[in-house]
């Protein structure tokens, strides 16, 4: 049976890859069994995929403590498409799961996310150190899901897209290569 989130992940990657190439970045596709040393300048965004809004489920209490909430809002996103053929939408993960206000206000299209990932690093990604701290907190009771680490290496102008079968696998990969 095909994975229902695969088309969402593929479309997300297509936009990120296009933006990366227009910025002069080389794109590398990795899985969690690939080794790749990461420099301290790496910027990381954790993106979870869902086939629809109804498929989203909290992985952890979305009322994160102050410091974790800030890291969450800058580095943990969810991408989905409402209907077959609909454009992929992206939002801060907790905004879609926490019921904290007007969710639609934070939603953006995947094209906008890709643009901001490269031009607004502080708003759409975390430093390597911040990512490790956040993933340590997040993986305390995480359930399996399809996730991806989007990692921008500004000095070497590379975009790494690391697919992982779970948050734990993503965290372990990042820790091994930090």
From the list 126, 135, 160, the residue with the least C-alpha distance to 35 is 160
Lowest mean pLDDT of 26-40, 47-61, 108-122, 161-175, name the range. Answer: 47-61
**13 in any annotated domain:** yes
**Does the residue 64 lie in any domain?**
yes
143 domain-assigned:
yes
Query: What is the pLDDT at residue 17?
Result: 95
56 vs 96, which has greater pLDDT? 96
Q: How many domains would you assign to the chain?
A: 1
Closest by alpha carbon to 148, among 56, 52, 10, 55? 10
pLDDT tens for each residue of 57-100? 655 555 667 788 899 999 999 999 876 668 899 999 888 876 55
Q: Which residues contact 166 (CB under 8 A, 6 or more apart)?
A: 142, 143, 144, 145, 147
Would you state the pLDDT for residue 3?
A: 80
pLDDT digit string (tens) for 118-146? 999 899 999 999 999 998 888 776 555 67
Residue 39 placed within a domain: yes
The DSSP output letter for 3 is: -
In a domain, 114, yes or no: yes
| Structural domain includes residue 59 | yes
Task: Give yes or no for residue 21 having a pLDDT over 80.
Answer: yes
- Average pLDDT rounded to a whole number, residues 147-164: 93
Q: Output the pLDDT for position 57.
A: 61
* Domain range enclosing 140: 6-177
Q: What does 20-74 look like in DSSP terms, one character per residue?
A: HHHTTPEEEEEETTS-----TT-EEEEEEEESSGGG---SS-SS--HHHHHHHHH
pTM score of the predicted model: 0.82
Do the domain assignments include residue 133? yes
Q: Is 155 left (phi over 0), alpha (psi -120 to 50) or beta?
A: alpha
- Residue 1 within any structural domain of the chain: no
């Amino acid at each position: 049976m095909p994975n229902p989130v695969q088309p969402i992940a593929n479309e997300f990657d297509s936009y990120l890859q296009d933006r990366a190439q227009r910025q002069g970045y080389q794109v590398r596709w990795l899985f969690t069994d690939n080794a790749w040393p990461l420099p301290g300048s790496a910027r990381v965004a954790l993106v979870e995929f869902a086939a629809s809004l109804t498929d989203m489920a909290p992985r952890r209490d979305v009322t994160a403590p102050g410091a974790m909430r800030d890291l969450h809002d800058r580095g943990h996103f969810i991408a989905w498409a409402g209907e077959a053929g609909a454009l992929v939408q992206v939002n801060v993960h907790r905004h879609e799961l926490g019921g904290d206000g007007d969710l639609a206000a934070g939603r953006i299209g995947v094209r906008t996310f890709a643009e901001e990932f490269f031009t607004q690093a502080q708003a759409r990604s975390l430093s390597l150190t911040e990512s490790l701290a956040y993933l340590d907190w997040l993986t305390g009771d995480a359930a399996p899901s399809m996730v991806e680490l989007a990692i921008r290496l500004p000095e070497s102008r590379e975009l790494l897209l690391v697919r992982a079968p779970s948050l734990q696998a993503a965290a372990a990969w990042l820790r091994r290569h930090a």
